[in-house]
Homo-oligomer: A and B are copies of this chain.
Amino acid sequence: MTDIDQLAHQILQQDRRALARGITLVESQRSDHREQSIALIQTLQKHPKRALRIGLSGTPGVGKSTFIEAFGSLLTARGLKVAVLAVDPSSLRSGGSILGDKTRMDRLSRDPMAFIRPSPSQSHLGGVTRRSRDAVALCEAAGFDVVFIETVGVGQSETIVSEMSDIFLLLLAPAGGDELQGVKRGIMEMADIILVNKADGELSTAANRTCADYSSALRLLRKRPQDPSNFPMAMTVSALTLLGLELAWQAVLELTDWRKANGHFAGRRAQQARFWFEEDVKQGALDVLNRQEIKNEIDRLGQQVEAGELSPARAAEQILKHLSRRE
């Protein structure tokens, strides 16, 4: 039995320390670790999984951590094992993570039924993406019932999280005025359930109005024949008073059961796997451009292009000839 087989075995036995070691392995940027990671994921691939993957997005300040703390605790209290991961584009700049500070989920991080893993800091979004996908697969293999994949709402990362999730939740704050909060149409179209948070105290009225606005907006989006007619839906919640959290969970279950029954749950996972396969192939094909001598050549010709001495197409042709000569 190789080390990787043994690690896989321990993860399948729901050994938390093995899980953490596995995640550290898939987060590593060393190329030998990368090969081991692929082998680990491929080994775990064959075992049955049952986790529900829930994507969660929301702009900063909307209360994502407080929501996950409250919602996650509700689930662990029902006997469900909950993992929380993050796809954090901000870690690209800062080297830090939105979830780096576990104390923001103080209760959940001490809950034996929960597992919280901050986002790795990486140099490019592709790295964050691949490592997050692998971490989801590891949590799934380690017997978690629910895996939350959190991201901060900045456009591209929602698409990525949506392609890793079975259900996509969008968390919003009550709007101040009568305008929608500049939520892009594309992101609204990804959402299965919009949760208007902070529906407590003085903000209750605003939350209800915002929820009604989004309900109307959702009705204008194209229908989803595969889902019950009441989806996508908007609901009010309060991570503070726990209002609506139970209902939100019931809605998640209703949608999941429906999609499992009509085959769309499995179909979507198959499509997502295909999507990531093709993304990995494209990324791999582009990796040749990261060789140092190619980078140097791109920089050298790029200066001539910027100076107007060489047309972009002619310069590109020279790089591509260089590539095919080299191989």
- Interface residues of chain A, those whose CB is within 8 Å of chain B, are 37-38, 41-42, 45-46, 130, 133-134, 137, 155, 178-180, 182, 184-186, 269-271, 273-274, 276-286, 288-289, 298, 301-302, 305-317, 319-320, 323-324, 327
Q: If the complex has contacts A282-B286, A319-B284, A320-B284, are A273 and B306 also in contact, measured as CB distance less than 8 A?
A: yes
A315 to B277, Cβ gap below 8 A? yes
Q: A147 CB to closest chain B CB, in angstroms? A: 17
Q: How many copies does the complex hold?
A: 2
Closest to A275 in B: B312
Interface SS of A by simple majority = helix
Q: Which residues of B contact A289 (CB under 8 A)?
A: 281-282, 285
Distance (whole angstroms) from the CB of A187 to the closest CB of chain B: 10
Tell me, rounded to whole Å, the shortest Cβ–Cβ distance linking A115 to chain B: 22
Say yes or no: B327 contacts A302, CB within 8 Å: no
- The 7 nearest A-B residue pairs measured at CB: A280-B316, A327-B327, A277-B312, A276-B312, A270-B306, A284-B320, A277-B305
What residues on B are CB-neighbors of A306 within 8 Å? 270-271, 273-274
A271 — nearest CB in chain B belongs to which residue?
A: B306
By CB atoms of chain B within 10 A, which of A38, A301, A312 has the most?
A312
Residues of B within 8 Å of A324, CB to CB, are 327
A-B contacts, 18 listed (Cβ < 8 Å): A38-B317, A41-B313, A45-B308, A130-B313, A134-B313, A270-B308, A276-B313, A277-B298, A277-B305, A277-B315, A278-B302, A279-B312, A280-B315, A281-B298, A281-B316, A285-B285, A285-B286, A285-B320
